[in-house]
Structure formats: structure tokens, C-alpha cells
Amino acid sequence: MDIEKAFLKEEISVILLQIFFMKKGLVLMFLSLFVFGFSQSKITVINEIKGTPIANATISCNDKILGKTDDSGYLEFKTKCKSIQITAENHFKESALVEDVMTVTLINTSSKTKSIETVILEDKSDPQALEILRKTDQLFKSNSPKSLDSYAYKSYEKISLDIDQDSISAFNEAFNNNFNLFKKQKTKDSISDVSARRIFSKSKLFLWERAQEYLFSKKLGEKVNILDNRISGLKQPIYEMIALQGNRDKVPNQIKPENRGLYRFYLTDTIEIDGRKNFVIRFREVSYKKTVKKRKFSGYLYIDIDTYGIKKIESISKDKNVGNIASTWIFFNNKWFLSEESVKLRMSRMMMDNTEPSSDAVENNSKRHKKSFGTYAYLSSKYFDYQSPIVEDPKHFTGYTFTVKNADGKTLQKYRTEPLSEREKNTYFVIDSLGKKYNIDRKARILTGLINGQVRVRSFDFDIGEVINYNLYEGFRFGLKAKLNENFNPYFSPDYYFAYGLNDEKYKYGIGIDIKTTLDKNSFFRIEYDDDVNSSGEFYRRLWTFRMRMMNYGNNINNDKYYRYQGVTVSYLNDVSNGLTLAFAAKRNTEEAKFDYSFRNSGAAFENFNTLVTLKYSPNSTNIMTPQGKSLIDQKYPELYFNFEQSFKALGGDFNYTRFDALFVQNFKTRLGTTGLRLYGGVVLGEAPIWKHFTMNGLASPSRDINFNLTSYLGFATLEGGKFYNDRFAAYYLTHKLPWYFKSIGQNVSSLDFVLRGTIGDMKHPEYHDFRFRKLDHLYQEVGLEWNNFLSSYFNLGVFYRVGYYTTYSFKQNFAFQFKLKLLEF
């Protein structure tokens, strides 16, 4: 289940892992138990479809038979093996990781299954199955609840980290037998093995409950109300975390056309479920090939015959007790609503001595008798109270996509589909105590702050993007930017920063204050004073997300044309709606070129009074309001960014120019893959100094033998930095993810992106600017190929080549390598 595990980490289990890693001490403790040894195990083998025991099933390890099951499908055995094989007549062979208590299911080798043996031997999918999947994908939107005019329903989700449910009694027995031994060990706090075992003897290691309400209207959009939430170990809710969603509205990975190469599909049967007939398609991953006698399938797809809607998906690990994933849909109002999800994913394995060794055993250096217990991540989601149509009251859809109604867990009992077990109740008591002792809340706030590029320390938020930067003018720039957060005052938020460049040997600083008008959304006035430098020709990045700004950090590595600005700015920002943000600013600055430059023989320093209007339109993105401010949960496209700047000869200003720029971002999928598009450009009207024009975002350096740079959101890998300037330009950035996936090192799946970038512009009066530069008035283009998950790393490697008018005879000028952090995505 390598591919399934990779997808799961990116979708569902990442929620659990993020919380789990906050408990740093517990994680270290947990990993320390990952030791294998000699163990005695119990196994029960049953038929997967009928649920009946299978007698005379052979249990073996490396072709050595360990025993056979009795009439109840049961066997006790001893082995040092980490994995065993289970075989039975008229059933497919299975593998399982060794644990103290195991239950393994086997699949019948039916006549219908055998009829596709020839297809399997040729390692290709059944054409009938592929045609059914094609129709399922084609009709997914029309089968989706969002094709209705309106609907509403609720959900209850529970995520936990625990021992395998079948092993709890055996674990407690082993724990009680060793209690005296544990008491003799002297270790530190909860990072010890003893603490971990004590936790598991009475409770789970982690528990998270969440109840939500989903509202949808074609006219008013989508609204998700978080009805209540509770996370063990945390007093304060993690708003960005509780708003994360699973696969509720997503096309399942097995259905996506681009993933067809990762699986082989076989139509094996038809079955009636809830009074409706369904195709049964079994699938297996291509990542492991087995002979005909071995296990062929890694899951089932149940597709409704009449509508081609998805009824159920079951995905099972090739090692049966490593994990499984199941999703079920319900047919309501002629659409397929998600009804239930369950995930069981093996995380680690712990060993436990059965008894304290005797003195003779110690003298003879003999091994202790040990038991092994698997630890698993569990997810269970239930959806209920479906309604369609609903009364579409605009009041119910106001604000951001997500609204937190309650987050202290006090009303969860109203939404639980079944009461908590005694073990689950103990989890809150035990883990909450540990959370208080080890201050997990503070660590969690630090982690969530990183989502927005901040590190939180009590009443201060520190901007991690200001700590260290590099550009050709300042060299390495070190800085510190701190902002007082809501712990200081919910309405007033002062901030201050300073920075120092090693090359220019100058200090820069700024001070400002935000004054909020409401706590329900982003709406605030701001006053600031700055004395700093900036690159010439910068494309405005106001209202960009942290990920976009992070991707653009390398844009000025080879641009040394900087100017200093010193002055006051007054601004106002308001989120008009979930998808529309407007910002207004008035600036009065002294500006001076820090390179050899003169504008119309008037020198290099000027006074500038200007106003700036910025608009961001992102209708499909999802946001949530937190005490820290608005947080972006899911950035979806299309998006539009627009800036309009007007300079006035007032209040001492020397200019009267108009400048505007725009950026449009879109991402869409077809059968041929996923295509991403950025269209951007700008115009300067009137007379303005060169830094108010547009540099063409070159990243290359003519002094290097090989062009190697980090990716830039709007940059060109082969274009020389700081060389070209225009007063008008248009550009495009086109990327296409090829629908071809291949295995990389380890468990990761890699893919390739084709990239095409181009830009063209002009400058009306280059003679106004007395310094050495070129205008770019012909189409500049470069093509490239990016290897995603390069060698299973966290980076994508791209190779680019310049084509068209600006191609030179020098290969090194036309060619460039580029690295991009995988998390930045498109």
C-alpha cells in the first residue's frame, strides 16, 4: 500500500501527524520502542467476504511452516520473523507483519476472478474496468451533491493513535506482569518507555474529535460551521488544524485518470448493495508485481450500475495488518453523498518483555521472552442529517468559508454517533495532564504560526521571512521583525523591524501599528514609517500568500539595482467578502537610487507622494477567522491580483505618473493532465524613475559557468537579472503536469512537469534614464522540464533552455538548472 500511504499522508493522516509531532517528547519515546525480537503470536484467519473462519490455513515464514489453523481459524506460533505468509486452498496468498494478536482475511479465488488471469499475466488493466472508470470520472461532477441547488448535512470525526484493538487485552496482561519491573527503572518523565507503556495500558496516546455542519447554495456558496472540537493535550484550539478537510468533495485517487498508471483494474463481479446493483472492480498497485499464485488485488471499487456513482472504495495493504482505508457513499436526492470513512494505518511497533528475567537467565545471557504490539493511527468519519433543498438564508453564509461555533468540546455528546469508550475517556484525562505538564499548547501555537510564516512567543509574532535573505545589492540581509499579537491587545497591534546588509553595511528599520475595526474579519487601519531599500522594477506583492512570497524570495539574487525609500504610509484593508479583499494606501516618501543613475538629468533622489489601490479576488479559496486574524486554509484558483498606483505633484511630490499591474492565476485539469497558468503584466503612464518601471524578473548571472538558481514565482531561469527594463510588458507562465507517474527511491511517487515561460514589452522613452540597461521588446521564451520529488527529496529539479529571438551561441547562457521546494507546489 505504498502509493495509498503516500496519498494518505497528503490528505487525511497528515492531520494526525501534525498534532502527533507537536508532542515532541512522546514521539522520541515512541520511536525508542521500535525494536524487534523473539515473540509468541496468535492469529485468526477468516474469509473476507463471508466472515467465516478458515481451517487448515498454513502460516509460514521464509518457506518454513509455523503451523496450521484449527477449525476456528486460530493458531498460536513463535517466530523471530518480522513478516509471515498465510495460504489456504482456493484463497489468495496473504502477507502480514508479526504482532502479538492478529486477524487476517483471505479472498476467494472465484471463477470470475480466474477468468481474468490472462489479463493479469500480461500486467494490464481490464478494458471493461477502464471504461467503467472513465464514465465514473466523467459523471463525478453530475453525481456530486454540489450539482444540487442547495443542501446541508453534518459530520462527526474521530482521529486517534492507539494499539491495535485486538491486542489491548494482551498488552494489559503483559503490562501488569511487568509492573514491578517498570517501577525499578529510573527514567525521565514522559519520554521514557515506562510512561509510554503506562499510557497505552489505560488510554490512547492521542484523540481528536470534531463535529461540523456543511451548507451549500449555488447562489451563496459553501459554508462550513465547526460545531465543536476537542484535541487531547491542548487547551486552546488550533483553528488552522480543525478546519482541515479530508476527501469529502475530492475525486478519489483510484478514479483520477492521471493515476491509471499506478494501478491495474479488473472487473470481477456485480453485487447488490442497499437494493442497487454495483460493478465490483478490484485493483492492485503496479509498484509490486506478483506471480499468478500470489496476491493480485489491493482493493475494491463498487460503482453503481445505473448512475456510475461511487458506492464504496476499500483499499487494503499488501501486508494485511499494515493498514486499510474504506469510504462509503449514500444515494440521497439522486446524488452520492459521502456517508462514512475509516482509516487504519500502522505507525510503529513496540516490544514488551513478558517477565523480569531470572538471575540464571542474566548469567547465561539468554534473551527475554517478548511480545510485540503494533500502534496505529485511526480515523473514523460519519456523515448524517442530509437535507436538500434547504432554506437559503444569506445570514447563514456570511463571513469566511469556515466559522467556529464552539471549540471546547462541551457539546460533542450531541453529535457523537456512539458514546466514547472508557479508554477514550481516559485519553483526555491522561494526555491533557501531559499537555499541561509539557506546555504542548505553546509548541502547537508555534507550529501553526509557521503556516503563516510566523513564530509565536507569548505576545510576540516573529516573521521568519525576515530573518535571513540574500540579494546582489545587500548581500546577506539579516533582520528581525516582531509584531505584538492579540495577547497584548485584540484591537491594537504595534510592530517593529530592523535589518542589516553585509554588503552595503547599512541598517534599515520600520515601525507601524494596526488598528482593527472588528474581530469578525480582517478590517484595519495601519500607520507605518520605513527607512529601507527595495529592488528596482519590483512587481507588487501585496496580499500575496506566504507561500507565493516564499517562492519569490530568490527573485533579486542577481539584481543589484536598488533604491532607498524613507517615509510614512497610511493604509486601510478590508475583506469585503470571503473571496474579495481591498486595500488602500497613501505614501509620502523620499526615494534615492543606490546605483549610478540619473532621471532626465535631475539626479537620483526625488520626493514622491502616491496612492495605491490593491485588489485580491479569490472566490474559491477557503478561509477561517482566528483570534490571530484570517488564515488561509485552502488556496484554490482562479485568483486575481491587481494594483493601481497614482502619483501626484502634491505635498512636495515630484511626479505625476500612473502605474498598474495585474496577476491572474488559474489551475485546471483535463484528461491530458493538470495545467497551471499565470498571466501577468503592467503599464507605466507618464514620467517616473526607473524603479517604478518593470524589470523582467531575470534570475541568471552572466558570470557563472552554469546557471543555477532557486525558483521564482514570476522569474525566468535563463534571463540575466537586472539587465532589462520596460514601462509596459505582458508575460505568461504555463506549466503542465504530465499524466505519467513513476516510482522513485523509497515509497515516493514522482512525476514530470512541462514548463513554458514567455514575456514581451517595450519602453517608450529609454533616453529618460541615464544608466546602462536594455529594453526587452521581442518575445523572450524558455522551455523546461521539472522532475517532481527529485530522488524522493523535498525538492523539484528543473532544467530550462532559452528559445526564440534571444537565443545565443553560448550554451551556458541558454541553459539553467532550477530547484524548487516541493511544498511550494504550482
Pairing type for strands 150-163 and 101-106 reads unpaired
* Neighbouring-strand partners of residue 405: none
Distance, CA of 592 to CA of 742 (rounded, Å):
53
**With 60 as the cut, is the pLDDT of residue 485 above it?**
yes
| Residue 385, all three cell numbers | 442529517
Residue the block writes with cell 504610509: 569
- pLDDT tens-digit map of 231-285: 888 777 777 777 777 778 888 888 988 778 778 898 888 889 999 999 999 888 7
User: Counting beta carbons within 10 angstroms of the beta carbon of residue 279, is it exposed (0 to 12), middle (13 to 18) or buried (19 or more)?
Assistant: buried
Q: Say whether 323 sits in a helix, a strand or coil.
A: strand
Residue 493 identity (one-letter amino acid): S
Residue the block writes with cell 514522559: 190
- Nearest 5°: the CA angle 345, 19, 165 is 35
Mean pLDDT, residues 509-522: 94
**For the purposes of burial, counting CB atoms within 10 Å of the CB of 798, is it exposed (0-12), middle (13-18) or buried (19 or more)?**
buried
H/E segment holding residue 170: helix 168-177
Q: In angstroms, rounded to a whole number, what is the distance separating the alpha carbons of residues 480 and 482?
A: 7
Tell me which residue has cell 484558483.
637
Q: Is the peptide bond before 389 cis (omega within 30 degrees of 0)?
A: yes
Check residue 42 and give its pLDDT: 87
* CA dist., res. 242 & res. 208, Å (int): 9
Non-local CB neighbours of 309 within 8 Å, separated by 6+ positions:
136, 139, 143, 303, 329, 331, 335, 336
CATH number of this structure's domain 517-824, picked from the four choices 1.10.238, 3.40.50, 2.40.160, 3.90.640: 2.40.160
**Peptide bond just before 257 cis, omega within 30 deg:** no
Q: How many CB atoms lie under 10 A from the CB of residue 741?
A: 20
- For 333-413, list the strands marked E by DSSP: 335-353, 370-387, 402-404
| Encoded amino acid at 149, one letter | D
Maximum mean pLDDT: which of 97-111, 149-163, 178-192, 811-825: 149-163
User: What pLDDT digit, counting tens, does each position of 76-117 carry?
Assistant: 988 888 788 899 988 878 888 787 778 888 877 754 555 555
- Distance in angstroms (rounded) separating the CA atoms of residues 182 and 582: 62
Cell numbers that stand for 731 in this block = 508575460
Backbone angles phi, psi at 306, to 5 degrees: -75, -40
DSSP category for residue 290: -
- CB contact at 8 A, 220 and 213: no
Going by the DSSP 8-state scheme, the letter that residue 431 receives in this structure is H
3-state helix, strand, coil in the chain (%, to 5): 20, 45, 35
Q: Is 129 helix (H, G, I), strand (E, B) or coil?
A: helix
Q: Yes or no: say if 149 and 217 are a contact pair by the CB < 8 Å rule.
A: yes
* pLDDT surpasses 50 at 742: yes
Q: What is the amino acid identity at position 739?
A: P
Q: What is the mean pLDDT of residues 299-317?
A: 91
Q: What is the DSSP string of 181-225?
A: HHHH----GGGSHHHHHHHHHHS-SEEEEEEEEEEEETTTEEEEE
The pLDDT tens digits for 127-141 are 999 999 999 999 999
Instruction: Name the band, by pLDDT with cuts 50, 70 and 90, for residue 691.
Output: very high
What pLDDT was estimated at residue 378? Answer: 87
- Read off the amino acid at residue 282: R
The per-residue pLDDT for 191 is 35
Query: 39 has which bridge partners?
Result: 79, 370
| 490 touches 498 (CB < 8 A) | no
pLDDT at 387: 96
Range among 196-205, 212-221, 277-286, 437-446 rated most confident: 212-221
Residue 734 to residue 272: CA distance in whole angstroms: 46
Of 605 and 711, the structure prediction assigns the larger pLDDT to 605
Range 306-316 average pLDDT: 92
Tens digits of residue pLDDT in 286-307: 754 444 334 445 788 999 999 9
Higher pLDDT, 183 or 701: 701
Query: Which residues lie across from 267 on neighbouring strands?
Result: 281
DSSP structure class, residue 108: B
For the chain, give every residue range classified as CATH 2.40.160: 517-824
In contact, 667 and 674? CB cutoff 8 Å: yes
pLDDT digits (tens, 9 = 90+) for 632-668: 888 889 999 999 999 999 888 999 999 999 999 999 8
Q: What is the pLDDT of residue 656?
A: 93
Residue 724 bridge partners (DSSP): 774
Percent of the chain's residues with pLDDT above 90: 45
Residue with cell 473571496: 579
Contact 711, 752 (CB under 8 A): no
* Backbone φ/ψ region at 140: left (φ over 0), alpha (ψ -120 to 50), beta: alpha
Residue 395's region, left for phi above 0, alpha for psi from -120 to 50, else beta, is alpha
Judge contact between 126 and 133, C-beta under 8 A. no
At 686, is the secondary structure helix, strand, or coil? Answer: coil
Asked if 229 and 211 count as a contact pair (C-beta separation under 8 A), the reply is yes
pLDDT(33) > 60: no
What is the average pLDDT score of the chain?
82
Contacts of 587 (CB under 8 A, 6+ apart): 567, 568, 569, 608, 609, 610, 611, 612
Residue with cell 496577476: 663
Contact 45, 268 (CB under 8 A): no
d(CA 153, CA 52): 36
Q: Residues 742-758: what's their mean pLDDT?
A: 79
For the whole model, what pTM was predicted? 0.76
Q: Which of 122-136, 600-614, 736-750, 768-782 has the lowest mean pLDDT?
A: 736-750
Measured from the Cβ of residue 576, the count of other Cβ atoms closer than 10 Å reads 12
Contacts of 818 (CB under 8 A, 6+ apart): 699, 708, 709, 710, 711, 717, 784, 786, 797, 798, 799, 800
DSSP state of 305: T
587-633 confidence digits (pLDDT tens):
999 999 999 999 998 999 999 999 999 999 999 998 988 877 888 88
Percent of the chain residues topping a pLDDT of 70: 81
